[in-house]
């Protein structure tokens, strides 16, 4: 019997309260993202926003979350450090999965987990045009669970360009690389493992375009949730004595 | 509904036909390995040996195998190259999982997939003593599926020492590192991805000791089979036109 | 005092003997590649071709080579296996550097070292047009020695497209990612370490375009040679006894 | 002509002011570490301590440091966060090398760069005994510059045990794995690249034993400094227009 995966979609919910973004996402970006995931019977999906108490990251909620999805942009710096650290700790220790979307690559939880907080200047690039530009996300690893059901590439008609060189540690695996009409490239789907937890950076998703309604993007998010779910307890039992039998309580300390 | 995983246990079945190894493994090492896996209801387990037609690697069998487990030793060089290549191709292209046990680190399929065939001299070490020596396999990645149910380390009372420097590419992840009573270490559990397939090297298992009956070793093998099973079709559909719409048949060729 | 780096440029020297390629490379591609490297005072550069005795890979030459540069295309399959294995062995054991150019990604030494020989079908893509197409190689790792002196990207006006998904193990680092005018991407500069040796795959360089004369490409090749040169002896001295002092000759064997 | 490498040895200089540590390191641990490096003619070595103004990390000093060596223990938490961030920024952006010694694996600069600050409990292990225990650091990568001149392993007669599972991202490469007399193992020499900078974690070096006087340890530190020195400017020049020539100032923004 398959176990339910408890997903929490977290969004800052700022720009999507006002036009023009609210025209694209009338119920907020979190609800559009959640809608796609609710089609999966063994996902139990909640949404929270930065406006909720404790920025939507209270202990009970986060402790009962298997996979946390994060979209943020303008309010990245308003997240208190201790709440960002709480997210990191659940990834590292409890193995909570983290899905980092678009501008969340400038959020504190992501940057802290990658060792790039605060990010120095001079890294990455972007190009924002009202009409957007075409993006093709090429599949680099056809056998990976996150790309199942996806053709050779996903074509997004209009998106913002996010480009290299991203300031990220070498990914465990690069699943997607994006081609942009304007002449740039981006490692747009990358996985990392940190402590007991898995992390997926997925860079498309500018707020002014209906990207989180696109069928292939929803497929990737579904696949990603399943892959990100913690695979085990990660429980750690240090009951191993010194080799000559000296009582371990005298000798062995876990940090 | 969980899908059945089709496991094939392949052994050279040479030393285990004679004493003293046959005293430890009266039905062959393959049957001892298979016995542990048959406890899992969604595993469908077959055994073959190098004595079978086409060395047990006929097309029908290998095409219907999700995970191939490989134990070999004295007869590594007798495996025809084209059969080794067949194994590699199913890993790379179809995503068949490969579990490489003990001296199979000198087998052709493993060495070809790692890019170390034929292996140059001067790498690795071993120490074979009649009484064996104690080995502790420390868990390095507590959150990984392959180590679930395992304590901080597995203690094997008596085994042969296999030690560093192994001539292997840097693993995607090192799951176990072994401590040997005699003063050596070994990266004893390592995972790799190649093409669409996953590979797990697990170094304990000298033929003269009852290691494949040990509860924790069987737990690792069960976990490994589940992790190694292919996660998707890896199907590759190159139906992507040149950006200006030029018919792709004129421009685009897959290799 | 800086030590001389002994570079051997190996080319199959087939198409560049005839028009139209010979119009671009009148002295052969190997001489154009060598010309750029001969500008560096501490490089000692030789050229050989597949037409030379032992395909230009006799023991004396390869044993006195620090970095081997390889361009091949139509005649990949004509290289005898034992000569390919000789190249691999010098990389793995002696630490000879290997620079793999363009279609040499279908050569035996490269594929054997990557564990993808013989390569199964269905991987990679290409698009060959008489007029070529624009390629931009974006720098992903600005701090790496191989990209020093290079701007944010290298623009090649006309090249053949080589695209993903390449069947390669996850690189140690991806240094360049290419954008192609026609809508594709490619991990065009990737580094790998295998045994004691370093390997650099650099995918631009179709034979009908004057790419190996381009200033930035020559800069990358120079940087790469310096980075690929072996950093040490890699000598391996297993003089370590069993921990209780048992004479090591009884216990310790190197493979 | 070889360029001078500017090395700064940073120590907290607490325990080594008092007995018994001061008996082992009468001039402080930093001076013992520096002494070994001063034997190299092209190294320019300075020492600072946490007692100096700005904890020894003023802008002028750090801006003129190519490689920073860090030993700390009891006072890790007293380092102000902004000074730790300053160190990280010089690694990421300017490519300053960082050598992390022993208990500095609990220092802020290291933990922030690894994405494990603040470190959750339950990771790693140690065993501190007055008499210490034997440690053998096995060389895993014989061809790497950092292990040149080192035999198959380094034997330290007495050290504190630091053991797995360390909470670290998978290293780019594991150079040393330690065997401890008491039955544990540790990835004791690991390299990482972050942004433009290189990092080396080297875990031996308990303060009560004369480890930084040991010839082989000094050899590793010398090798490491040379490897850690920044290889290039990492300068980043984003002068690349939109593909159709639209003036880049309208379209292209670096972050």
**Rounded CA gap, C184 and C202, in Å?**
17
Per-residue pLDDT, A214: 98
Q: In this structure, are strands B5-11 and A253-254 parallel, antiparallel, or unpaired?
A: unpaired
Q: Alpha-carbon dihedral of residues C153, C158, C164, C169, nearest 10 degrees?
A: -60
For the entire predicted model, the pTM comes to 0.94
CATH number of the domain encompassing residue D230: 3.40.50.880
Give, rounded to a whole angstrom, the gap between the first and last alpha carbons of chain A.
37
Structural domain includes residue C13: yes
Percent of chain C with pLDDT over 90: 84
**Angle formed by the axes of helices D215-228 and D29-37, nearest 10°:** 70
Number of H helices, E strands in chain B: 7, 12
As given in the structure block, the two tokens for residue A14 are 């700022």
**Rounded CA gap, C229 and D213, in Å?**
31
Task: Indicate yes or no: CB of B92 within 8 angstroms of CB of C181.
Answer: no
The mean of the pLDDT values for chain C is: 91
With contacts defined as CB-CB under 8 Å, which chain A residues touch C138?
163-165, 184-185
Question: Using one digit for the tens of pLDDT, what is the confidence trace for B43-54?
Answer: 999 999 999 999
With contacts defined as CB-CB under 8 Å, which chain D residues touch C197?
143
| Lowest-confidence region among C109-123, C194-208, D67-81 | C109-123
- Report the Cα A207 to chain-centroid distance in Å: 16
**Rounded CA gap, A165 and C140, in Å?**
5
**Rounded CA gap, D73 and D10, in Å?**
12
**Rounded CA gap, A36 and A13, in Å?**
18
Asked if omega into A214 is within 30° of 0 (cis), the reply is no
Instruction: Give just the sign of the alpha carbon dihedral D10, D15, D17, D22.
Output: negative
Neighbours of A, requiring at least 3 CB pairs below 8 Å, are: B, C, D
Q: Alpha-carbon dihedral of residues A153, A155, A161, A166, nearest 10 degrees?
A: -20
Q: Alpha-carbon dihedral of residues D118, A84, B146, B158, nearest 10 degrees?
A: 10
Q: Indicate the pLDDT class of residue A235, thresholds 50, 70 and 90.
A: very low
In B, minimum Cα distance to C128 occurs at B251
**Rounded CA gap, B242 and C3, in Å?**
48
In B, minimum Cα distance to D152 occurs at B165
Structural domain includes residue B190: yes
Question: Using one digit for the tens of pLDDT, what is the confidence trace for C74-96?
Answer: 999 999 999 999 999 999 999 99
- Report the Cα B72 to chain-centroid distance in Å: 11
Query: How far D139 CA lies from chain B's nearest CA (Å)?
Result: 7
Structural domain includes residue D244: no
Instruction: Give just the sign of the alpha carbon dihedral D210, D213, D219, D221.
Output: positive
Q: Indicate the pLDDT class of residue D231, thresholds 50, 70 and 90.
A: confident
Q: Examine the pLDDT at A136 and tell me if it is beyond 90.
A: yes
Q: Examine the pLDDT at D253 and tell me if it is beyond 80.
A: no
**Rounded CA gap, B168 and B192, in Å?**
10
Q: Indicate the pLDDT class of residue A90, thresholds 50, 70 and 90.
A: very high
What's the structural domain count of chain B?
1
**Rounded CA gap, C160 and C138, in Å?**
17
In B, minimum Cα distance to A96 occurs at B143
H/E element holding C174?
strand C173-180
Question: Using one digit for the tens of pLDDT, what is the confidence trace for C108-159?
Answer: 999 999 999 998 887 888 999 999 999 999 999 999 999 999 999 999 999 9
Q: What is the DSSP letter of A94?
A: I
Task: Indicate yes or no: CB of C164 within 8 angstroms of CB of A136.
Answer: no
The beta-carbon neighbor of D183 closest among B142, B179, B187 is: B179
Give, rounded to a whole angstrom, the gap between the first and last alpha carbons of chain C.
36
As given in the structure block, the two tokens for residue A220 are 């990737």
Structural domain includes residue B133: no
Tell me the ipTM for this assembly.
0.92
As given in the structure block, the two tokens for residue B212 are 């494949």
**Residue A149 falls in which region: left (phi positive, over 0), alpha (psi -120 to 50) or beta:** left
Q: What Å distances lie between residue A216 and A155, A204, B36, CA to CA?
A: 9, 12, 41
Per-residue pLDDT, D241: 47
**Structural domain range at position C207:** 5-118+187-235
What residues pair up with B163 in beta bridges, in sequence order? B125
Structural domain includes residue C217: yes
Task: Indicate yes or no: CB of A115 within 8 angstroms of CB of D170.
Answer: no
Q: Residue written as tokens 């990092």?
A: D199
Q: Examine the pLDDT at D155 and tell me if it is beyond 60.
A: yes
Contacts of B230 (CB under 8 A, 6+ apart): A143, B66, B94, B95, B96, B97, B196, B197, B198
Q: Indicate the pLDDT class of residue A242, thresholds 50, 70 and 90.
A: low
**Rounded CA gap, C212 and C35, in Å?**
9
Contacts of A67 (CB under 8 A, 6+ apart): A5, A6, A7, A8, A96, A97, A98, A99, A225, A228, A229
Chain C residues with CB under 8 Å of a chain D CB are 2, 95, 134, 136, 141-145, 147-148, 151-153, 155, 172-173, 181, 193, 195-197, 230-240, 243
Structural domain includes residue A26: yes
Structural domain includes residue D179: no
Structural domain includes residue A199: yes
Question: Using one digit for the tens of pLDDT, what is the confidence trace for A209-222?
Answer: 999 999 999 999 99
Neighbours of D, requiring at least 3 CB pairs below 8 Å, are: A, B, C
Q: What Å distances lie between residue B3 and A39, A143, B42, B64, B228, CA to CA?
A: 21, 17, 7, 14, 14
**Rounded CA gap, B17 and B26, in Å?**
8
- Specify the 3-state DSSP secondary structure of D42: coil
Instruction: Give just the sign of the alpha carbon dihedral D28, D34, D39, D44.
Output: negative
| Lowest-confidence region among A120-124, C149-153, D43-47 | A120-124
In 3D space, the residue among A56, A60, A63, A50 whose CA is nearest the CA of residue A14 turns out to be: A50
- Specify the 3-state DSSP secondary structure of A24: helix
Contacts of A103 (CB under 8 A, 6+ apart): A71, A72, A73, A76
Q: Are the C-beta atoms of B133 and B181 separated by less than 8 Å?
A: yes
Q: Are the C-beta atoms of A174 and C190 separated by less than 8 Å?
A: no
């Amino acid at each position: 019997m398959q176990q339910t995966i408890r997903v929490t979609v977290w969004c800052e919910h700022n720009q999507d309260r006002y036009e023009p973004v609210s025209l694209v996402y009338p119920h907020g970006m979190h609800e559009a993202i959640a809608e796609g995931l609710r089609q999966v019977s063994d996902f139990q999906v909640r949404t929270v926003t930065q406006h909720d108490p404790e920025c939507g990251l209270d202990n009970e909620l986060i402790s009962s979350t298997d996979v946390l999805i994060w979209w943020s942009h303008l309010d990245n710096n308003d997240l208190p450090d201790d709440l960002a650290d709480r997210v990191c700790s659940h990834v590292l220790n409890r193995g909570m999965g983290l899905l980092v979307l678009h501008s969340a690559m400038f959020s504190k939880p992501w940057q802290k987990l990658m060792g790039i907080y605060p990010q120095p200047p001079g890294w990455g690039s972007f190009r924002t045009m009202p009409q957007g530009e075409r993006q093709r996300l090429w599949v680099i690893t056809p056998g990976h669970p996150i790309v199942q059901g996806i053709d050779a590439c996903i074509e997004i008609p209009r998106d913002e360009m996010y480009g290299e060189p991203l300031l990220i540690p070498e990914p465990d695996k690069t699943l997607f690389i994006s081609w942009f009409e304007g002449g740039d490239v981006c490692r747009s789907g990358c996985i990392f493992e940190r402590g007991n937890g898995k992390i997926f950076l997925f860079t498309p998703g500018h707020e002014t375009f209906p990207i989180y309604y696109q069928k292939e993007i929803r497929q990737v998010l579904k696949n990603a949730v399943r892959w990100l779910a913690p695979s085990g307890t990660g429980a750690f039992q240090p009951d191993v004595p010194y080799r000559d039998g000296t009582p371990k309580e005298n000798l062995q300390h876990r940090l």
